[in-house]
């Protein structure tokens, strides 16, 4: 009966993933079947925490986030939760021995979104680690099936890829973050005086993260490689589009890759995988 309960909760995580991100949901289907449930569990957990920060404006967000964190660690300790999202997450944390300090770092970053508006170098690096790099590390534990030595070999590649994804999100959403949320993530950037030179410096830093992250993708287990590679391809194409867009347009509108082009990229990546060209 417990298995039935767990299976239902994993189905909830699948619905949440599909509802919030069609692109991410499509990418998950490229993983081996054994990996899909665990990755959806991690995504759903992170998505719900992020929802507290960015959506519930008429509520005490800090109180809700504190409660969610307490419930998370109780679920992990008990090995059970009546919250479907936390039940599947604790299942994955316990099964793959995910470092609980990473979970704490994630919540620390979520809190920073509540009270930090202008980030300095220290808070910027701390935020990226907790909001993006640790999510990549949690997924890596799943990809490595909990094997610590394999995980350690790939750890810094995963962190670089997660950092690249997050920095691209910052650049893509720079207008909304500043005008709607009052946030400036890049410590060297002044939104009101954003220039082509500032944009170029940011792009050089992101490119280094992408280059290092790609090396790690090629070392991933076969069951996970294509799914992560497609995520990389989506983001690198978004990055190219941002690089080819003048700074004043990046500042004034959200740059995106349209769905038809994403389908093309998916087909191209799958074909490369079939002929072992990744």
85 is in which domain, residue-wise? 1-96
233 domain residue, yes or no: yes
Same domain membership, residue 145 and residue 78: no
Residue with the bigger pLDDT between 115 and 24: it is: 115
Measured CA to CA, the distance from residue 45 to residue 86 in angstroms comes to: 7
87 domain residue, yes or no: yes
Same domain membership, residue 228 and residue 191: yes
Whole-model pTM: value is: 0.93
65, 96, 127: which is the final residue of a domain? 96
122 domain residue, yes or no: yes
Say whether pLDDT at 22 is over 80.
Answer: no
68-91: average pLDDT: 98
What is the pLDDT at residue 94? Answer: 97
107 domain residue, yes or no: no
Residue with the bigger pLDDT between 189 and 93: it is: 93
180-185 long-range Cβ contacts below 8 angstroms, 24+ apart = 181/54, 181/113, 182/117, 183/113, 183/116, 183/117, 183/118, 183/119, 184/117, 184/118, 184/119, 185/119, 185/124, 185/127
Same domain membership, residue 119 and residue 89: no
Same domain membership, residue 159 and residue 209: yes
103-123: average pLDDT: 94
pLDDT digits (tens, 9 = 90+) for 38-57: 999 999 999 999 999 989 98
Same domain membership, residue 191 and residue 85: no
108 domain residue, yes or no: no
185-196: average pLDDT: 90
43, 67, 96: which is the final residue of a domain? 96
Which residues does 264 contact at the CB level (< 8 Å), separation at least 6? Answer: none
The CATH number of the domain where 189 resides is what?
1.10.600.10
Same domain membership, residue 78 and residue 174: no
Same domain membership, residue 268 and residue 145: yes
What is the pLDDT at residue 34? Answer: 95
Say whether pLDDT at 61 is over 90.
Answer: yes
171 domain residue, yes or no: yes
Number of domains, the chain: 2
- On average, the pLDDT of the chain sits at 92
Same domain membership, residue 143 and residue 6: no
Same domain membership, residue 22 and residue 121: no
What is the pLDDT at residue 236? Answer: 93
Same domain membership, residue 81 and residue 41: yes
106 domain residue, yes or no: no
What is the pLDDT at residue 265? Answer: 73
Same domain membership, residue 187 and residue 136: yes
Same domain membership, residue 207 and residue 144: yes
Q: How far is CA 156 from CA 137, 162, 226, 262, in A?
A: 9, 10, 19, 27
Which has the minimum average pLDDT: 195-204, 209-218, 255-264? 255-264
Percent of the chain beyond pLDDT 90? 75
101 domain residue, yes or no: no
96, 125, 156: which is the final residue of a domain? 96
Confidence label for 277 from pLDDT (cuts 50, 70 and 90) = low
């Amino acid at each position: 009966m417990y298995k039935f309960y767990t299976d239902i909760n994993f189905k909830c995580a699948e619905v949440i993933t599909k509802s919030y991100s069609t692109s991410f949901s499509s990418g998950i289907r490229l993983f081996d079947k054994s990996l899909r449930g665990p990755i959806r569990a991690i995504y759903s957990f992170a998505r719900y925490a992020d929802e507290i920060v960015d959506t519930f404006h008429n509520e005490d967000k800090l109180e809700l986030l504190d409660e969610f964190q307490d419930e998370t660690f109780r679920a992990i300790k008990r090995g059970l939760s009546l919250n479907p999202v936390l039940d599947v997450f604790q299942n994955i944390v316990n099964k793959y021995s995910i470092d609980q300090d990473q979970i704490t770092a994630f919540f620390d970053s979520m809190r920073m979104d509540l009270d930090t508006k202008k980030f300095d170098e220290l808070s910027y690096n701390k935020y990226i680690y907790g909001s993006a790099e640790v999510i990549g590390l949690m997924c890596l534990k799943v990809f490595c099936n909990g094997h610590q030595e394999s995980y350690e070999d790939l750890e810094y590649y995963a962190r670089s890829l997660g950092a690249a994804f997050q920095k691209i999100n910052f650049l893509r959403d720079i207008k909304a973050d500043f005008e709607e949320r009052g946030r400036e993530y890049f410590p060297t950037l002044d939104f009101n005086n954003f220039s082509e030179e500032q944009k170029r410096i940011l792009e050089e830093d992101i490119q280094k993260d992408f280059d290092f992250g790609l090396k790690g993708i090629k070392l991933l287990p076969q069951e996970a490689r294509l799914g992560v590679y497609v995520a990389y391809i989506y983001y690198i194409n978004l990055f190219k589009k941002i690089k080819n867009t003048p700074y004043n347009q990046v500042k004034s509108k959200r740059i995106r890759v349209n769905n038809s082009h994403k389908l093309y990229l998916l087909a191209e990546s799958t074909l490369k995988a079939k002929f072992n060209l990744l």
